[in-house]
Structure 1
Amino acid sequence: MDDYLNTQMSQKHSYNWQLKILILTWEYPPNVVGGLSRHVSGLAVQLAQLGHEVHVITAGNGGLTAYEVVNGVHVHRVIPLNNQDNDFLSWIAGLNLTMSFKGVKIAEDIKFDIVHAHDWLVGTSAVTLKEELSIPLLTTIHATEHSRNNGIHTDMQQFIHNKEKKLIMESDQIIVCSTYMREELLTNFQLSEKKLEIVPNGIEPSTGEVNSNEIYPFIKRRKYVFSVGRMVKEKGFETIIEAAQLARENRRDIYFVIAGKGPMLERYRKMVTERQLDYFIVFIGYVSDEQRDALLVNCEIAVFPSLYEPFGIVALEAMILGIPTIVSDTGGLKGIIMDKQTGLLMNPGDAKSLLSNIDFLSQNSDKAKEIGEKGRQIVKSLYGWKRVASQTVKIMEETLLNKRVNLNENAR
Structure 2
Amino acid sequence: MRFFHSYAHHVAISDSCGEILRDVYQIPRRRVHVIVNGVDEDSFGPDVQMGREFRSTIGVPPNASLVLGVAGRLVKDKGHPILYDAFSEFMASHRDVYLIVAGSGPWEQRYRELGPRVVVLGSMGPLELRAFYNAIDVFVNPTLRPQGLDLTLMEAMMSGKPVMASRFPSIKGTVVVDDEFGFMFSPNVESLVEALEVVAGEGAERLAERGVACRKYAASMFTATKMALAYERLFLCVKNQTFCIYP
TM exceeds 0.5?
Answer: yes
Give aligned pairs, total: 231
State the TM-score, normalized to the length of structure 2.
Answer: 0.80
Counterpart residue number, 1:177: 13
Q: 1:391 to 1:206 in 2, by over 3 A?
A: closer
233, 242, 256: which one aligns with 2:99: 256
Residue 170 of structure 1, CA deviation: 4.9
163, 166, 173: which one aligns with 1:325: 163
2:182 and 2:25 map into 1 onto residues whose CA distance is: 32
Counterpart residue number, 1:23: none
Residue 247 of structure 1, CA deviation: 2.0
Q: 1:282 to 1:188 in 2, by over 3 A?
A: farther
Residue 377 of structure 1, CA deviation: 0.8
1:253 and 1:283 map into 2 onto residues whose CA distance is: 17
Contact 2:154 2:218 in 1 (8 A): yes
2:155 and 2:108 map into 1 onto residues whose CA distance is: 25
Matched to 1:383, the amino acid is: F
2:2 and 2:70 map into 1 onto residues whose CA distance is: 33
Matched residue SS, 1:303: strand
Residue 278 of structure 1, CA deviation: 2.0
Residue 296 of structure 1, CA deviation: 0.7
Q: Is 1:217 equivalent to 2:55 in the alignment? A: no
Contact 1:311 1:331 in 2 (8 A): no
Counterpart residue number, 2:116: 279
1:218 and 1:359 map into 2 onto residues whose CA distance is: 24
1:353 and 1:280 map into 2 onto residues whose CA distance is: 22
**Which aligned pairs between 1:332-343 and structure 2 lie closer than 5 A?**
332-335=170-173, 336-343=175-182
Q: 1:368 to 1:217 in 2, by over 3 A?
A: closer
70, 77, 100: which one aligns with 1:234: 77
Structure 2: 5+ residue stretches without partners: 242-247
1:351 and 1:294 map into 2 onto residues whose CA distance is: 28
Contact 2:86 2:192 in 1 (8 A): yes
Residue 330 of structure 1, CA deviation: 0.7
Counterpart residue number, 1:315: 153
Counterpart residue number, 2:210: 371
Matched to 1:284, the amino acid is: L
2:226 and 2:94 map into 1 onto residues whose CA distance is: 47
Contact 1:339 1:345 in 2 (8 A): no
Matched to 1:296, the amino acid is: Y
Residue 244 of structure 1, CA deviation: 1.8
105, 115, 138: which one aligns with 1:301: 138
- In terms of Rg, which structure is larger? 1
Matched residue SS, 1:219: coil
Q: 1:301 to 1:337 in 2, by over 3 A?
A: same
Matched residue SS, 1:224: strand
Q: Deviations over 1:272-298 (max 9, x none)?
A: 46xx51234343220111111101101
1:306 and 1:187 map into 2 onto residues whose CA distance is: 24
Question: What's the Cα RMSD here?
Answer: 2.7
Residue 206 of structure 1, CA deviation: 4.3
174, 185, 188: which one aligns with 1:350: 188
State the TM-score, normalized to the length of structure 1.
Answer: 0.50
Matched to 2:131, the amino acid is: A
Q: 1:350 to 1:375 in 2, by over 3 A?
A: same
**Which aligned pairs between 1:92-111 and structure 2 lie closer than 5 A?**
none
196, 199, 205: which one aligns with 1:361: 199
Q: 1:217 to 1:301 in 2, by over 3 A?
A: same
Counterpart residue number, 1:193: 29
Residue 165 of structure 1, CA deviation: 4.6
Matched residue SS, 1:255: strand
Counterpart residue number, 1:205: 41
Q: 1:338 to 1:311 in 2, by over 3 A?
A: same
Counterpart residue number, 1:388: 227
Structure 1: 5+ residue stretches without partners: 1-163, 403-412
| Runs of 4+ off more than 4 Å | 186-190, 206-209, 220-223
Identity of aligned residues (%): 19
1:346 and 1:252 map into 2 onto residues whose CA distance is: 23
Matched to 1:398, the amino acid is: C
1:269 and 1:391 map into 2 onto residues whose CA distance is: 37
**Which aligned pairs between 1:13-162 and structure 2 lie closer than 5 A?**
none
